A and B are shown apart, each in its own frame.
Chain A
Amino acid sequence: MAYLELHNIYKTYGQGAHETEVLSNINLKIEEGEFVAIVGFTGSGKTTLVNLINGLLAPTSGSILFKGVPVSGTSHERGVIFQNYSLLPWLTVGQNILMAVKEAFPKKSKSALNEIVASYVAMVNLTPAINKRPKELSGGMRQRVAVARALAMKPEMIIMDEPLGALDALTRGNLQDEILNIWGKDKRTALLITNDVDEGIYMADRIIPLRPGPRATLGPEFKIDLERPRDKTALNDNASFKKTRNAIIEYLMDIGDARKSEAKEPVILPDLAPKSFVKYF
């Protein structure tokens, strides 16, 4: 049995005539220790999918099994890194992480909890900023806090919803390496949602495209057989990398074109002629 299983997931919003089907017939299996990336266009229902897996939303039909048990509500076993960091602005970096750690390990003593906080802050290289508030940090630093907060709870699976989407290319590259390093240490199961194919290929074992919504569904998977640790510069000349990359992009472009042509149904314009006002004068 797989670690995380999604069977025939449907998710609709609204009711009656206003009902829109966002996700349709989603089937997914993730094995333990695997790093899976889901790539898709903006607005294709990626965040809905993530919220179904982390338990913030419930599917309209279908079942989600985590280690064989149906998912009902959120759990400390699945850590989430949100797209917009979602740090609490009135707490410092340390307090933000401490709040999570306190919930995850309610029995530990205060000093033990503070030690955990300090070690995870150090892991994301933010020790000098531990007493700062999120407002005083840059986007990359904030996302590192969010990463530390998710990991400090020692989740068995990390779910990342476009974690690096709002960052510039350089910071993005650095954080990709940092996340991979951390993941490489204890090989937790990871699910990455992204709109960047290169990021997916660089980080994941498997890439699954999400066909755009409404009625979004998962496309065929692409296995990435590159050795770890991967080298970003060398990757550009790697034949296998190029092949997979082109295949995925081609697939996504085809869907995009198909969607566009769907929208290109001819619109019949009313037959209008400019009216002459001459006779009124």
Chain B
Amino acid sequence: MKAITLGSFSKFVGLDFFTSLKNLFTGKLAKEDFKKFLRKVIVPLASILIFVGLWHLGAKSLYNIEATFRIEKALKDQGPVAAAALKTCIASGQASCQPNTLPSPTQVWDSFQSLLRDHRIINADKAAFIEKTATLNTKRIAAGKNAITYTGRPSFVDQIFRSLQTVFAGFLLALFIAVPLGIFIGLSPTLKSAFNWFIQIFKPVSPVVWYLLVFMIVKTLLIDSNEDSSFTISFISVGLCAMWATLVNTAMGVSSVDKDYINVAKVLKLGTFQKIFKVVLPSSLPLIFTGLKITLSVAWMVLIAIELLAQSPGLGLFVWEEFQNGANDSNAKIIVAMFVIGIIGFLLDRFMLTIQNWVSFDKTDAI
């Protein structure tokens, strides 16, 4: 058993620049390492700085266009006094008269801070509420009544976790439908031709339509229930929308197992069960995982649109509510959500890659 070093682990999860970073601090930086460090750390950092700089300049010019337009409009409609008042108001930075446009990086950073502050306040609220209702709740439970739960507004961090819950529920649904179905389709040419039209037609259907379809069915099925069905609807839509990559990849992996391995299975006279689990599945594992990786990233991508439609709590709903809200920091909060969505998507992809490396027999197969 090899000891897991920082180097081997970070290479395994595809973040091997940590190694050169470590070498920098331990003073073992060879020339080769220095080049690598430059390429893997300095270059990305520099490009991030350039990106933020361009964003800043762009936001500033958009701000100016909007401000000039407003002042000119005030001059035309209300006269020079109103225009001068608006000009001083904009220059003073008062919230009420700020032009509404692409927020600058600093505004986004401030909004991020304020979202975190908001989260701490809501958390404190929640804790206080639980403490306050603790004795009452024990009495209510003893009397056979439902406990009182906190029904306040969820914070941004809560929304992130709700979104992750939805995406994992959807991903598991996709996994449990697509992998077994893919195996059956891959093993039997009859099933393959039976399902082919189905896959071809439903694969390109848009997330919005999937949501509406699931909504029609679940609404009727849960007609007697008073529970909020938005979570159920959104995770089922996410799963159905994202499962196609896994379905197609599994079917392809299973049907294209090396003929030599099939011959071995025949010569050893493995039973059907043994053949599937000892030969067919391991050999198609790399392709199945490639499919699952695509499924997870598609699930995360369509989640926002579906949450928005389903009014299910999460980042999608957050973005929609901020957009409808139209407060002066709403745009900045939307950009914060955008970055959070992107970073979580990236982390999910790395997570899948790590699992794929872990289970695949041939480490070089992982793409």
Contacts and interface: CB of A to CB of B under 8 A. Distances in A.
A100 B270 CA distance: 8
Given A88-B282, A89-B361, A76 B269 contact: yes
B61 to A, nearest CB: 58
Interface in A36-76: 54, 56, 73-76
B279 interface: yes
Contacts of A90: 282-283, 285, 361
Interface string B274-307: 1000110011010000000000000000000000
Contacts of B263: 56, 82, 86
A73 B267 CA distance: 9
Contacts of A91: 278, 282
B362 interface: yes
Contacts of B278: 88, 91, 99
A103 B274 contact: yes
B269 A103 contact: yes
Nearest to A80: B267
A80 B263 CA distance: 10
Contacts of B261: 86, 88
A88 B264 CA distance: 9
A104 B269 CA distance: 8
A179 B94 CA distance: 91
Interface in B328-367: 361-362
Nearest to A79: B267
Contacts of A74: 266-267, 269
Given A86-B260, A88-B261, A135 B362 contact: yes
Contacts, number: 47
A89 B362 contact: yes
Contact of B268 (A84, A100, A133): A100
* From B266, B268, B282, B285, residue with most partner A Cβ within 10 Å: B268
A104 B274 CA distance: 13
A56 B274 CA distance: 18
Q: Provide the main secondary structure of the chain A interface.
A: loop
Contact of B267 (A56, A84, A88, A133): A56
- Size range of the chain A interface in the assembly: 20 to 34
Contacts of A153: 268
Contacts of B266: 56, 73-74
B268 A103 contact: yes
- Identify the interface centre among B264, B274, B283, B362: most chain A CB within 10 Å of its CB: B264
B264 to A, nearest CB: 5
Interface in A74-106: 74-76, 79-80, 82, 84, 86, 88-91, 99-100, 103-104
Interface in B248-269: 260-261, 263-264, 266-269
A85 B115 CA distance: 61
Contacts of B268: 76, 99-100, 103-104, 153
Interface in A101-137: 103-104, 133, 135
B357 to A, nearest CB: 14
B366 to A, nearest CB: 14
A77 to B, nearest CB: 11
A120 to B, nearest CB: 14
B278 to A, nearest CB: 6
Contact of A88 (B269, B279, B285): B279
Nearest to B359: A90
Contacts of A84: 260
Interface of A: 54, 56, 73-76, 79-80, 82, 84, 86, 88-91, 99-100, 103-104, 133, 135, 153
14 contacts: A54-B267, A74-B266, A75-B269, A79-B267, A82-B260, A82-B264, A86-B261, A86-B264, A88-B261, A88-B279, A88-B283, A90-B282, A90-B361, A104-B268
Given A56-B263, A56-B266, A88-B261, 13 more contacts: A56-B267, A74-B269, A80-B267, A84-B260, A86-B261, A88-B264, A89-B361, A89-B362, A90-B361, A99-B268, A99-B270, A103-B268, A153-B268
Which 9 A-B pairs have CB atoms at the shortest separation, nearest pair first? A90-B361, A90-B282, A86-B260, A86-B264, A80-B267, A103-B268, A74-B267, A100-B268, A74-B266
